Structure 1
């Protein structure tokens, strides 16, 4: 793009920034703590400062002192049998208090060399807790959730459903009041982007804004939940979780064909497959008594990790590595536990031992999967075990797969040995070649003991996962959905519900949602509708100085968070609003515009992906979900906007603000080409009324009608650009050549170029790519 192009954007282009959602929790909840809670006040202090040396891991425990259990904390000290770390009801005689208030460097805890230091507030909390009896509580996330009575509230008129009782009770206690309902145009954009990842069409905008019935918003939600784009929007989240990519990773990073699994995920969300079946099929669809190719295809979830195709590797080392990835993905995404460190030693903070880790590992260790199947010159686009998708499958049980040619497709799926059982051992320090004691498939007792009546395979693991006494599964998923719509989960650390994770801002609400989700058949669309029909969700995004002072991170949800769109949906918005978007669902990934030389500079130079071959035609304009992901060189523009690189399970994306994002929105060929196409269409339709063209462009991009002041500003900019291009027609052609769409007759005219600049300016408004 010509460098001078960026100099002519008006003052109305605001630098893009990411607006936060809800906040992280501190260990001190903003409540009047007359009664100190171990879970919400004390455990976070001990976990951050003490458990590394006095916690669950016996290998690093010092002085024989364990502070994560009441038995250990109340016991006589090993070095001084007449003293106790904690004496319930007597802070003065508790050694822990003597140590934390000491000025002696040789006695004070935490020790100076740890670089940890308690605040005066934290010391006061521990002192008060011990004086009140030092009552220990089970970790909140390991206690089965219960539906508690709705909390009492003062404003009886505000709540629209049960969710609002919980959020309003917190607001009232903090001296806050909720916002009014968002204006209809803002609410429409919010709901449309949250449910489909796409801006509403002009027709939908007019239809909704003119519908004054009481159930207009509920009707809109139902309509968009039924839109096939819903499955694509939800699949973006699940591709991050399932670490989906189109290549194998490592140095050679050759092509693989897991995309039918992505088609299945879209299909499952659109058909509202209950969450228990959605996960069971992915964990163990091949082991179900009534299994078929669809259920086996779902197990590709387990096979999306990286694979090596480098000669000379040790096969067993990588086979172990692949199962480690499966274990970590299961625990992080479905159980919300960070257990990776237990591969090498007992967890230092959570009651997860190394034996627990390899007992879970054992569920995934009985497959004929290999660690190495030949180098890049011998490899296949799928690894053993493989499922073949035949032509007749596409006319039957796999009819949802978008496959145009007649070639068979290979997909990596799960399969267990039929007549043998591979032994699993605890690996010393996690090393593949250091087996020690044999273990068998099992689950952590701290979460839920494994029912001995269940089969000791992945199907048994799935049944354990959805046992009504499992405290994590429902909580973790409803928290993920909450995060999608509020920018942060009720538990901000969505992949870590353990002791080092964040505490829930609204624990009773989280439990209510979890139990309600389970009681209503794990119905995903119902869960989403419940959240979206709440007054909490439908608030305006206005923020007052008082609210910022009382709750700067919006922990109490007294306004709707402003959230920059995800990388995929920024692309979708640009393409959809311009009319370029190809709405085809499913199929192989595509390679859009990309700066030359990136792949070639970061690859071994071998295999099918040694060089970047950009797609042509309508494939260039597919949704961001379908952009080809090469693990060693993730697509650059999505990465600029915090897209996942997909090399491991990711449950939360960041939202950053960098100058490169603004440069991408100004200069990305996709954005400029979309502006050209939109400008030409609008100019052709409204050649004699440019203000009407500007108004439509504004509405299509920002999803609301413009004000008179906004139209006047944009109209003035259009006139300035029209004069410039009239005087310098040679500047037009270079702009019109950006992108693969050919220049049509009449496109290289000054009014089209001027309108194009207006459209680019609109795309670069902060509001354009922000969900408010």
Structure 2
């Protein structure tokens, strides 16, 4: 009997196991992110996702996918593929019912994979990039004995650090082997260009070649990391991300003085400012306790947005445009995620909802810049006597107020006004115009018997009205009333005659004490010149201060010192409520929202003291160790700069539509190490990368490598990519001996062809720099958004109207025309030819000397023969055409030999190997 029951039980078990097998419970688990999500994104999301939800069915979020559709029944029943409408519709043959509609059917293996997934429970999963990275185990290489140093093995002999171990593991999978190390001269040129953007000098190469120490290369890396040129190179990279320019953009595109932000970047990289601090200062330096000038200047990152000074534009429209740009740029630069589309609808592919965009936007919505022509708020830099005056004002306040706490608060308030002219109400906020208008859509203007309202002003404890105004009328007088056009008179004051309706003087109008929030009405009497405009730029309601202090403050406010745009947030009346924009339009605001981060990422702390709901709290949240994106995005960007492509090739998008990482574990290991071991040190991160044997390989590719890995995604050879636009120019100046090492300061205008820059609105022109400024590094070149420096645009630099995460390299004939004909390159060739003349007695020797100066090695015999033939034929031609030689060398007595040598030098600087990092 016992045996019978055992047999029956065994049969039941077999049947049960067979059933479970059919259900897929004991088969290989299906991974949602790598196997299912790509199928859904490719075939289904367009109709059933963030933009459209056909039949009320969406596959973007789990709760939507499992919820009842329009039919009242769920399309996916976890554990029951046969009962799931999704699987049924995918499997039909009738084109009117089969999904996807009006598109090719899914492949049978894709349907079977989806079926298997549903049978296994339709488990959802977060995309890898939105999960906090673990610290993966470093792969083992070689043998146990070689790892212990008791024997040799090619892998352990080759590897320098952990990067190499991850790379070797992947190469084994792909059937590839590593390449020999690059020769010392090539390696020094590569790492010099990568870390400083400049080639090494002949003296540096000679010293390096003579040093046989095992530490020679590391010492060279340390020297380059300590070079002032390091900060210039990496600041140049960051300028694309920050959409830095010396003009405001749009059609008018007038100048903007924001070069101090560029200098901040140089100093930040050179001082190895930790990346978390670097990020925080740029996003929220103004909100840091006792913010320094440097930290305020850093917020220029988000003041590089464009400003529209056109007449007839609405300031609020372009304030919002800048606000949206800040949200998208923050995500692009620091989070590596396409977030901009969430402005209009939930993300079609990633787990971000429409409403979450505006919760995130709320972090930035209180910024005080409002698309005004003056670009306030700006940080003002008083010098000389003005600086002394500011110190006198501060000293007076500290001495005249006995309570130290009150004195410090008053100093902060007054210094804020003196240094930034904030808080204030810009005059475009006035309403209820009578015989008044916004002059050229910029500042409020009013004529005789005209009036307007300043709405909703809190007046408690603020009986001093600071006002920037002016007129050309003789007897203009402004009256201020409380709550209505006929209400109680608060003050009447004469408007200063500034000689122009556009000129202003800052004055103080005393007001009687008033409590609470009120409307202020103003009306103008100007009977002598009733058609003359009186202009008001802004008003500010302030507390009372002693007369000597107020006199000093007014004097400072009426100065015109150097300034740079910064971020500041409005408080009290100046704080804004953020609304969801219906379909992304600022003209159709919907429900109000509070600052918050997307639910797909770790939540912000509830402790407001730790993470306040402002830009500072946001920056601290982004740099928490458990944040899944910030460190990954940073290390991927630095990797892309060195190797030509990121571990995730789409540096701008780590989301579900971005490229899959070629070395996921390496990316995560680098990210965790960047935080925990390097403490966010960018120099340490870069040093680890360039010390790796992966980086030090020669760039030559074998036929097998080209067949298996044509784009070098698995790093079986060293990087070989064309130099960036700035590096091409800087290298030409460096090898010719023209390069100026002058650092910092206002942007300069090096030579460029005539007729490039047109500024019809203000008559500005390209005034060529003189002296050493002509030869400064490319990052100091004046950048006009509507007409960028032509040679850089030709080599793929962006216009910087918007953030550009990576430059896609092109190869066009125009690039050769630049390096052969641009005045900068012609002059560099002339100078290099002078050097060649002094370092050789024959054409062959001179050409070799020039090439060694450029590439730090001798020319191959075949190339030398080609260049020698170029020299010979060119010399003969110039002998017959002496006027052309004079024209080339800009002299009346040019020698054909020198002209021919210049042409040869120019040709050498245009060689592919010269403008390429190998």
Q: CA deviation at 1:517?
A: 0.5
Distance 2:857 2:718 in 1: 18
Q: CA deviation at 1:172?
A: 0.5
CA contact (8 A) 2:60 2:351 kept: no
Q: List alignment gaps of at least 5 residues for structure 1.
A: 1-32, 374-379, 396-405, 738-742
* Residue among 417, 420, 445 paired with 2:570: 417
Q: Which residue of 1 aligns with 2:761?
A: 606
Instruction: Indicate whether 1:322 and 2:322 are aligned.
Output: yes
Distance 2:117 2:816 in 1: 50
TM-score of the two chains, using structure 2 as the length reference: 0.73
Distance 1:336 1:556 in 2: 22
Q: Which residue of 2 aligns with 1:301?
A: 301
CA contact (8 A) 1:77 1:85 kept: no
Q: How many residues were matched structurally?
A: 704
Distance 2:902 2:77 in 1: 71
1:173-200 CA distance string (max 9 Å, x none): 1111111211222211110110111111
Q: Which residue of 2 aligns with 1:584?
A: 742
Q: CA deviation at 1:358?
A: 1.1
Q: Which residue of 2 aligns with 1:20?
A: none
Instruction: Indicate whether 1:237 and 2:237 are aligned.
Output: yes
* Residue among 743, 748, 751 paired with 1:593: 751
Distance 2:112 2:689 in 1: 38
**Bigger mean CA offset, 262-271 vs 497-506:** 497-506
Name the SS for the 1:437 alignment partner: strand
Name the SS for the 1:653 alignment partner: coil
Name the SS for the 2:694 alignment partner: coil
| TM alignment of 1:347-746, pairs within 5 A | 347-373=347-373, 380=374, 383-391=375-383, 408-420=561-573, 421-453=575-607, 454-519=611-676, 520-600=678-758, 603=759, 605-607=760-762, 609=764, 611-683=765-837, 685-686=838-839, 688-737=841-890, 743=891
Distance 1:92 1:186 in 2: 63
Name the SS for the 2:290 alignment partner: coil
CA contact (8 A) 1:87 1:93 kept: no
Distance 1:583 1:151 in 2: 44
CA contact (8 A) 1:691 1:711 kept: yes
Q: CA deviation at 1:116?
A: 6.5
Q: Which residue of 1 aligns with 2:916?
A: 770
CA contact (8 A) 1:153 1:172 kept: no
Distance 1:207 1:86 in 2: 71
CA contact (8 A) 2:726 2:792 kept: yes
1:190-225 CA distance string (max 9 Å, x none): 101101111111111212222222111111111111
Q: CA deviation at 1:69?
A: 4.2
Larger CA Rg, structure 1 vs 2: 2
Q: Which residue of 2 aligns with 1:7?
A: none
1:34-84 CA distance string (max 9 Å, x none): 7653222332222232223223x3x62122333344454456665374x74
Over 3 Å counting, the alpha-carbon distance change for 1:308 and 1:80 in structure 2 is closer
Distance 1:687 1:549 in 2: 44
* Residue among 131, 136, 141 paired with 1:143: 131
Distance 2:115 2:856 in 1: 55
Distance 1:249 1:444 in 2: 31
Q: Which residue of 1 aligns with 2:213?
A: 213
Distance 1:591 1:185 in 2: 34
Q: CA deviation at 1:156?
A: 3.3
Instruction: Indicate whether 1:85 and 2:99 are aligned.
Output: no
Name the SS for the 1:388 alignment partner: strand
CA contact (8 A) 1:255 1:608 kept: no
Q: CA deviation at 1:620?
A: 1.8
Over 3 Å counting, the alpha-carbon distance change for 1:715 and 1:117 in structure 2 is farther
Q: Which residue of 1 aligns with 2:493?
A: none
TM-score of the two chains, using structure 1 as the length reference: 0.87
| TM alignment of 1:38-117, pairs within 5 A | 38-55=32-49, 57=50, 60-73=52-65, 78-79=70-71, 81=73, 84-85=75-76, 87-88=78-79, 94-112=84-102
Distance 1:176 1:534 in 2: 18
Distance 2:623 2:329 in 1: 17
Q: Which residue of 2 aligns with 1:28?
A: none
1:631-660 CA distance string (max 9 Å, x none): 111222111110011011111111011111
Q: CA deviation at 1:407?
A: 8.7
Name the SS for the 1:410 alignment partner: strand
Distance 2:707 2:106 in 1: 26
Name the SS for the 1:156 alignment partner: helix
Q: CA deviation at 1:598?
A: 2.7
Q: CA deviation at 1:98?
A: 4.1
CA contact (8 A) 1:591 1:613 kept: yes
Distance 1:290 1:126 in 2: 57
Distance 2:854 2:110 in 1: 49
Distance 1:469 1:495 in 2: 21
Distance 2:70 2:119 in 1: 23
Distance 2:644 2:92 in 1: 42
Distance 1:314 1:649 in 2: 23
CA contact (8 A) 2:60 2:348 kept: no
Q: CA deviation at 1:122?
A: 4.7
Q: CA deviation at 1:596?
A: 2.2
1:569-615 CA distance string (max 9 Å, x none): 11011111111111111221122232322322xx4x11253x33332
Distance 2:58 2:364 in 1: 33
**Bigger mean CA offset, 553-562 vs 164-173:** 553-562
Name the SS for the 1:599 alignment partner: coil
CA contact (8 A) 2:581 2:589 kept: yes
Over 3 Å counting, the alpha-carbon distance change for 1:626 and 1:161 in structure 2 is same
Over 3 Å counting, the alpha-carbon distance change for 1:266 and 1:623 in structure 2 is same
Over 3 Å counting, the alpha-carbon distance change for 1:423 and 1:71 in structure 2 is closer
**Bigger mean CA offset, 71-80 vs 635-644:** 71-80
CA RMSD, aligned part only?
A: 2.5
Over 3 Å counting, the alpha-carbon distance change for 1:617 and 1:349 in structure 2 is same
Q: List alignment gaps of at least 5 residues for structure 2.
A: 1-26, 143-154, 389-558
1:690-724 CA distance string (max 9 Å, x none): 33321221022223332344334333332333333
Distance 1:612 1:470 in 2: 46
Q: CA deviation at 1:100?
A: 3.7
Name the SS for the 1:425 alignment partner: strand
CA contact (8 A) 2:840 2:849 kept: no
Over 3 Å counting, the alpha-carbon distance change for 1:431 and 1:64 in structure 2 is closer
Distance 1:281 1:675 in 2: 42
Q: Which residue of 2 aligns with 1:258?
A: 258
